[in-house]
């Protein structure tokens, strides 16, 4: 007997037929004694349709986030009811639970709620009655009893957190790819599917652009120590397990993956007086506006004393607001100007193995140099190295780096 949490995304439940297919799929893999929780997202375009309705009514000047969550949470509520009916049709007792009913406790950050705790008594009670429990992903309840939606990738987070709270044997994330690859297979056709990857490596890959999993859900898995199995909706093949440590020796590759992210913009503040407190002033203003700053490079000008240039990267949607803030502060500080470049991308290598292996960075820079790709900004972490390059060279860069590190495969 095993207790398994399975998560299916919106495209897997987009139509009544697909909902029935998900129910059949779950039952195919379920042995009689297994306890199964299924977490689902809203059907296909439901969320977009609800947002259109809201846009026709609301004035975005006002903060509508609580009501938006009340509205959007109906999407998952529809899916769970229908999927439970589908199980019943196949002779399998099932019950749907909203995020609130499943005990998904969130803070009150409407639209981007963070799970604080799971109180899964109802889920456990229904499992004990022999039912499959179908839980609405992407939603929870605030301390005030309000309905809230979780941030991006929220359904994955719901599933992993539930699996953790239920001490499930595994959490299976069904997706349209069959696992985690060493690079985006659309860019690198020879990319290899991994059997396993550690939470930390997956977190770093997600942070650096690997779209399969959102960082928050991987953090949850790490927190609870739940193995996450990322696998295909369309096949029954094994996918990739995300765990604390490798269970099989799979370390022939020091680098686990090459990721890229085109949702990047670069801002350069030129001719900044080199005084204490300048960086604080600049970046605290950006933080106040909720703008995430990623890579930061401060460079000294050899020709001018006490003058530096400050270069940093942010996500592209923040560019207009960031530019306004930086220009205002730049004027106050008497800088020489602000340059914005949107046409950039970030390419990264990730792998816990690089800790004990010097030369990874050199190898990566060498691959880029051989491909005649210029590096604009470099940053490193314990388990990753990232370079900002021109956006139009990003595929070429990923291919060159992947070939350098994975040529043995």
Binding site for its own copies (CB under 8 A): 16-17, 19-20, 50, 53-54, 56-59, 62-64, 66-68, 70-71, 73-74, 77-78, 80-82, 84-86, 88-89, 95-96, 98, 101, 122, 145-147
Q: Which of 135, 137, 159 is nearest to 150 (CA)?
A: 137
84/393 with CB nearer its own copies: 84
Q: How far is the CB of 175 from its own copies (least distance, A)?
A: 23
* Residue 260 near residue 346, CB atoms below 8 Å: yes
Annotated binding site for substrate: 47, 76
Pairing mode of beta strands 132-136, 35-40 = parallel
- Residues whose CB falls within 8 Å of the CB of residue 264, separated by 6 or more in sequence, listed in order: 294, 313, 314, 315, 316, 344, 345, 346, 388
62/280 with CB nearer its own copies: 62
Q: How far is the CB of 65 from its own copies (least distance, A)?
A: 10
Helices 16-29 and 65-89 meet at what angle, rounded to 10? 60
Angle value at C-alpha 282, between 277 and 283, nearest 5 degrees:
100
50/375 with CB nearer its own copies: 50
Q: How far is the CB of 64 from its own copies (least distance, A)?
A: 5
Two tokens, residue 226: 């739940």
70/375 with CB nearer its own copies: 70
Query: How many C-alpha atoms does 3 have within 13 Å on its Cβ side?
Result: 18
53/287 with CB nearer its own copies: 53
Q: How far is the CB of 147 from its own copies (least distance, A)?
A: 8
105: enclosing H helix or E strand: strand 104-106
144/249 with CB nearer its own copies: 144
Annotated binding site for ATP: 7-10, 175-176, 181, 186
Two tokens, residue 244: 């604390």
Q: How far is the CB of 167 from its own copies (least distance, A)?
A: 23
3/88 with CB nearer its own copies: 88
Two tokens, residue 333: 């500080």
Q: How far is the CB of 153 from its own copies (least distance, A)?
A: 23
Residue identified by tokens 């909902």 is 19
Q: How far is the CB of 118 from its own copies (least distance, A)?
A: 16
* Residue 386 near residue 295, CB atoms below 8 Å: yes
Task: Give 54's DSSP letter.
Answer: H
CA dist 119 and 60 (Å) reads 34
Helices 278-288 and 319-333 meet at what angle, rounded to 10? 150
4/82 with CB nearer its own copies: 82
Burial class (CB in 10 A: 0-12, 13-18, 19+), 408: exposed
Pairing mode of beta strands 257-273, 293-300 = unpaired
């Amino acid at each position: 007997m095993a207790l398994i949490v399975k998560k299916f995304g919106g495209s897997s439940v987009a139509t009544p037929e697909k909902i029935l297919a998900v129910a059949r799929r779950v039952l195919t893999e379920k042995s009689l004694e297994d306890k199964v929780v299924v977490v689902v997202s809203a059907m296909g375009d439901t969320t977009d349709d609800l947002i259109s309705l809201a846009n026709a009514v609301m004035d975005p000047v006002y903060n509508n986030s609580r009501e938006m969550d009340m509205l959007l949470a109906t999407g998952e509520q529809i899916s769970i009811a229908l999927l439970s009916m589908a199980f019943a049709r196949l002779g399998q007792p099932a019950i749907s639970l909203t995020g609130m009913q499943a005990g998904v406790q969130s803070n009150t950050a409407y639209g981007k709620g963070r799970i604080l705790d799971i109180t899964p008594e109802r889920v456990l009670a229904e499992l004990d009655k022999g039912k499959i429990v179908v839980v609405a992903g992407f939603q929870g309840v605030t301390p005030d009893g309000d309905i809230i939606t979780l941030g991006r990738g929220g359904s994955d987070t719901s599933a992993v957190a539930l699996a953790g709270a239920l001490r499930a044997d595994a959490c299976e994330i069904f997706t349209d790819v069959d696992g985690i690859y060493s690079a985006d297979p659309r860019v690198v056709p020879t990319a290899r599917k991994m059997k396993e990857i550690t939470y930390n490596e997956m977190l770093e890959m997600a942070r650096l652009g690997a779209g399969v999993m959102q960082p928050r859900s991987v953090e949850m898995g790490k927190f609870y120590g739940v193995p996450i199995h990322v696998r295909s909706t369309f096949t029954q093949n094994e996918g990739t397990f995300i765990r604390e440590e490798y269970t099989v020796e799979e370390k022939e590759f020091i680098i686990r993956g090459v990721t890229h992210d085109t949702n990047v913009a670069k801002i350069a503040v030129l001719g900044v007086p080199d005084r204490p407190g300048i960086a604080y002033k600049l970046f605290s203003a950006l933080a106040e506006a909720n703008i995430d700053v990623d890579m930061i490079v401060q460079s000294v000008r050899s020709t001018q004393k006490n003058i530096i240039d400050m270069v940093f990267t942010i996500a592209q949607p923040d560019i207009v607001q960031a530019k306004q803030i930086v220009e205002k502060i730049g004027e106050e500080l008497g800088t020489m100007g602000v340059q914005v470049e949107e046409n950039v991308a970030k390419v990264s290598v990730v792998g816990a193995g690089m800790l004990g292996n010097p030369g990874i960075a050199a190898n990566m820079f060498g691959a880029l140099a051989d491909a005649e790709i210029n590096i604009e900004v470099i940053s490193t972490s314990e388990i990753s190295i990232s370079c900002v390059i021109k956006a139009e060279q990003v595929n070429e860069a990923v291919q060159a780096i992947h070939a350098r590190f994975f040529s043995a495969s």
